[in-house]
């Protein structure tokens, strides 16, 4: 027997959900939906409320819809007047492309983040596994499947990976990318930097903290060429002198009008890189693990019943949206985030 979904006045979780619903109904959200052609806007907001309710309490969408239709107090809490058709919710998620949802999510989250970000910014780039609800003991031909075998700290899993970029100061997610689970972080690292540069999410002088999965002398060099400070956690056998001997000016700066000025800029980057590598980077990046755990544990990004890239990306969008809205309300302390992820 499933427990009924009944709003409880004074309950912290329901209070947080109420604030998120307020944000869904504000003017910025409506403009973002219209800008990304997710229309009709009012119906889209109604369906988003249902999806977020289901993710918030780890429910199936069908059960969330049945509870909304059954309980007047729940409809009143969500500010939904009429009964909701289940097929309409499914049609809403399948009708629009994943790219539309991604643009919608980050147009909301990045409004305040772009205003607060100053040069240079400290960012954190990390990845997490997205495990799908599949029997791992069954023999499978994965040749033409989007999901693959991967490995994380918890062991082997069958699914995909998600790379996420977070602003250290605000803890706001700025970017995410879903890719096959059998691709190592160090291999996809140049592609991620290219995407971040194209989207103008990294600027010259930004420092990005990354774990040892990105380690490699060439990856430090690639980061410098993109004009960032790649603070990749060094391994035990890391040698500063070897890295110093490998670093050289990017060739494209010799096409600039003021070559000496560009050289000085890159020399400052290298100086900050070696200074940063001697810091306690492990402590600095620890907070990102709690933010990712919040998205996975509290906002239903584990054991997904999705088996293709499009639905997984859409589910990741809603999880990132909820995470960004939560930290945007001021829940940024480590203990508070840990408490939220254990709900």
44-103 tens-digit pLDDT: 999 999 999 999 888 899 999 999 999 999 999 999 988 999 999 999 999 999 999 999
Mean of the per-residue pLDDT values of the chain:
90
User: 111 falls in which pLDDT band (50, 70, 90)?
Assistant: low
**pLDDT mean over 103-115:** 76
Check whether residue 86 and residue 138 sit in a common domain. no
How much is the pLDDT for 273? 95
CA distance from start to end of the chain: 21
Which of residues 2 and 183 earns the better pLDDT score?
Answer: 183
Task: Identify whether 323 is part of a domain.
Answer: no
Structural domain range at position 88: 1-96
How much is the pLDDT for 119? 74
Check whether residue 258 and residue 191 sit in a common domain. yes
Task: Identify whether 215 is part of a domain.
Answer: yes
Check whether residue 124 and residue 246 sit in a common domain. yes
pLDDT tens-digit readout, 269-306: 999 999 999 988 888 888 888 888 888 877 878 888 88
How much is the pLDDT for 234? 92
Task: Identify whether 294 is part of a domain.
Answer: no
d(CA 251, CA 239): 25
Task: Identify whether 138 is part of a domain.
Answer: yes
Check whether residue 92 and residue 134 sit in a common domain. no
Check whether residue 130 and residue 279 sit in a common domain. yes
Phi-psi region of 198 (alpha: psi -120 to 50; beta: other; left: phi over 0): alpha
Given 289, 310, 338, which residue is the final one in a domain?
289
Q: Are 147 and 134 in contact (CB under 8 A)?
A: yes
Task: Identify whether 104 is part of a domain.
Answer: no
Is 80 exceeded by the pLDDT of residue 343?
no
Residue 11: exposure state from Cβ atoms within 10 A (0-12, 13-18, ≥19): exposed
User: 340 falls in which pLDDT band (50, 70, 90)?
Assistant: confident
Is 70 exceeded by the pLDDT of residue 112?
no
How much is the pLDDT for 113? 57
- How far CA 172 is from CA of 106, 120, 124, 139, 246, in Å, comes to 10, 16, 10, 40, 34
How much is the pLDDT for 246? 92
Check whether residue 74 and residue 185 sit in a common domain. no
pLDDT tens-digit readout, 249-264: 888 888 888 899 999 9
Given 31, 62, 96, which residue is the final one in a domain?
96
Bridge partners of 337, per DSSP, are none
Check whether residue 134 and residue 272 sit in a common domain. yes
User: 1 falls in which pLDDT band (50, 70, 90)?
Assistant: low
């Amino acid at each position: 027997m499933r427990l009924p979904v009944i709003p409880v006045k004074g309950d912290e979780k329901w209070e947080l959900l109420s604030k998120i619903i307020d944000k869904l109904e504000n003017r910025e959200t409506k403009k973002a939906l219209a800008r990304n052609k997710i229309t009709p806007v009012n119906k889209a907001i109604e369906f988003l409320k249902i999806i977020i309710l289901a993710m918030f309490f780890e429910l199936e969408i069908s059960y969330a819809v049945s509870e909304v239709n059954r309980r007047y107090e729940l409809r009143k809490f969500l500010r939904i007047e009429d009964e909701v058709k289940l097929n309409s919710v499914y049609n809403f998620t399948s009708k629009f492309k994943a790219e539309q949802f991604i643009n919608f999510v980050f147009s909301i989250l990045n409004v305040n983040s772009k205003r607060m970000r100053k040069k240079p910014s400290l960012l954190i780039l990390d990845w997490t596994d997205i495990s799908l609800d599949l029997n791992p003991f069954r023999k499978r031909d994965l040749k033409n499947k989007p999901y693959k075998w991967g490995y994380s700290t918890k062991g082997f899993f069958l699914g995909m990976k998600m790379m996420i970029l977070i602003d250290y100061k605000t803890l706001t997610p700025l970017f995410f990318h879903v890719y096959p689970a059998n691709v190592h972080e160090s291999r996809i690292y140049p592609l991620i930097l290219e995407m971040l540069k194209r989207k103008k999410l990294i600027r010259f002088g930004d420092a990005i903290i990354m774990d040892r999965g990105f380690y490699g002398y060439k990856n430090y060099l690639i980061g410098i060429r993109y004009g960032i400070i790649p603070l990749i956690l060094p391994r035990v056998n890391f040698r500063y002198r070897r890295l110093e001997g490998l670093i050289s000016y990017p060739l494209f700066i010799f096409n600039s009008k003021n070559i000496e000025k560009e050289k000085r800029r890159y020399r400052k980057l290298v100086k900050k890189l070696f200074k940063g590598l001697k810091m306690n980077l492990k402590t600095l990046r620890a907070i990102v693990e709690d933010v990712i755990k919040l998205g996975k544990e509290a906002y239903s990004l584990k054991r997904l019943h999705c088996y293709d890239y499009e639905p997984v990306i859409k589910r990741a969008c809603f999880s990132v949206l909820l995470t960004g809205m939560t930290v945007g309300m001021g829940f940024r302390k480590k203990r508070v985030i840990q408490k939220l992820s254990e709900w």
